Amino acid sequence: MNLHEYQARELLRRHGIPVPADAVADTPDQVRAVAQRLGGKVVVKAQVHAGGRGKAGGVKLANTPDEAAAHASRILGMQIKGLTVHKVLVAPAVEIASESYVGIVVDRGSQRPLLMVSAAGGVDIEEVAAATPEQIHRVAVDPRYGLLPHQGLGLGLRLYRNVAQARLAAEIMTKLYAACYAVGASLAEINPLATTPDGQVLALDAKIVIDDNELDRRPEIAALRDATAEAPSEVQAREAGLTFVKLDGTVGCCVNGAGLAMATMDLVKYYGGAPANFLDIGGSSNPQKVVSALRIITADPSVKAILFNIFGGITRGDDVANGIVQATQQFPIKVPLVIRLTGTNEAEAIAILTKAGFSALTDMDEAVKRAVAQANA
């Protein structure tokens, strides 16, 4: 689950990381009032679940409250990476002497939280990683001991020659590591970690992604979810109890079981297609789940064919078949449907589908090839 910058800033603040004060607003008038209260120069920042807001024109400095309101009227309603901006953050503008990057991710390679820093901050860290990987410094933290003081200071000295600033950065890293654990983050980034001309070290931007598996035991973090900021298809899928990830291909996939769903996507690629989504309808699929799945997939205009791949075990083929038939009675399915179905209640399923005018295959390769051909036609 993604947090907004304003939510991430508040969590970091609570863990003792220096973050400038801020307020959130959703109208230009509110922005003007906040800017008046803060006094002086302010920064107005789009609150969307996307990076690179600065480059997209979603971060603007303003000298006066009126200028702040004018920026807000342009930023509110703007689209950044396909997401509409509904709120802006207003904070006192900080005079920046340097911009660094500090981030923690869960690293599969080392199976540890990985602390990464770079003195080349401010910009996209992915660009730094691609063009000048030597400018990124990493320490895999042993979770038994946490971030050790010499590790933090070592990384701090990669950012700043000034020892006092390196110590401040090390302190921030220790707090960021603690914050990650406390909130169940799979990623936490400060970019930029800025220095000011008078020597302060401040977090001017914060990004936190929460591991969804941590939400059940952290209701206060789960409550930070902003469904209005998420892709509508993903919200609908979550509400329907489906595991769904939107992708950018043309073959809509509807599969039971995460492993089979992954294998299906691999096979779609193998036969020259591209999956439009990952979708696991789960183990015990009642027809309603299948209807919801089809509603979500058919709403995506880039889907050119739909592939069902059902290997019935606990999932009963007749439930899935009934779901498909019910869906066609509720809304039009305008793209070809290729159904591969085998296992529990296969015969009943085929009878239901045949009666409704569908045909079903039992061979997975055959079905995937056919769906790819239809999507590419």
Nearer to Mn ion, 49 or 304 (CB): 49
**b/e 124-153 (16+ beta carbons within 10 angstroms → b):** ebeebeeeeeebbeebebeeeeebeeebbb
Query: CA–CA separation, 172 vs 190, rounded Å?
Result: 10
The correct pick among 18, 23, 26, 54 for binding ligand GDP (CB under 6 A) is 54
Tell me if residue 359 falls in helix, strand or coil.
coil
Q: Show which residues are catalytic.
A: 101, 189
Tell me if residue 202 falls in helix, strand or coil.
strand
Q: Is 52 in the site for ligand GDP (CB under 6 A)?
A: yes
Q: Is 256 in the site for Mn ion (CB under 5 A)?
A: no
- According to DSSP, the β-strands at 42-46 and 98-107 are unpaired
Q: What is the edge-to-edge ordering of all strands in the sheet holding 360-361? A: 243-246, 277-280, 251-255, 305-312, 337-343, 360-361
**Distance of closest approach, residue 205 Cβ to Mn ion, in angstroms:** 4
Nearest to 12 by CA among 169, 242, 179: 179
Listed in sequence order, the DSSP H helices in the chain are 5-14, 28-38, 65-75, 125-131, 149-159, 163-183, 219-222, 232-239, 258-270, 287-298, 317-330, 346-355, 364-376
Q: Is 93 in the site for ligand GDP (CB under 6 A)?
A: yes
Span of 49-57, 104-112, 168-176, 326-334 interacting with ligand GDP by CB under 6 A: 49-57
- CB contact at 8 A, 280 and 255: yes
Q: Is 51 in the site for ligand GDP (CB under 6 A)?
A: yes
The correct pick among 53, 175, 304, 369 for binding ligand GDP (CB under 6 A) is 53
Nearer to ligand GDP, 118 or 191 (CB): 191
Q: Is 128 in the site for ligand GDP (CB under 6 A)?
A: no
Q: Is 191 in the site for Mn ion (CB under 5 A)?
A: yes
Half-sphere exposure at residue 57, Cβ-oriented, CA atoms within 13 angstroms: 10
**Distance of closest approach, residue 163 Cβ to ligand GDP, in angstroms:** 25
Q: Is 9 in the site for ligand GDP (CB under 6 A)?
A: no
DSSP 275: B
State both tokens at 180: 């990650």
Nearer to ligand GDP, 4 or 158 (CB): 4
Q: Could you say which residues in the range 221-260 bind ligand GDP, by CB under 6 A?
A: none
Q: Is 338 in the site for ligand GDP (CB under 6 A)?
A: no
- CB contact at 8 A, 43 and 58: no
Q: Is 59 in the site for ligand GDP (CB under 6 A)?
A: yes
Residue 53's binding partner among ligand GDP, Mn ion, none (Cβ under 5 to 8 angstroms by kind) is ligand GDP
Residue 373's binding partner among Mn ion, ligand GDP, none (Cβ under 5 to 8 angstroms by kind) is none
Binding map of ligand GDP across residues 161-200, x = CB under 6 A, - = no contact: ------------------------------xx--------
| Angle at the Cα of 243 from the Cα atoms of 323 and 270, rounded to 5 degrees | 90
**Distance of closest approach, residue 311 Cβ to Mn ion, in angstroms:** 44
Q: Which chain residues interact with ligand GDP by CB under 6 A?
A: 43, 45, 51-54, 59, 61, 93-94, 96, 99, 122, 191-192, 204-205
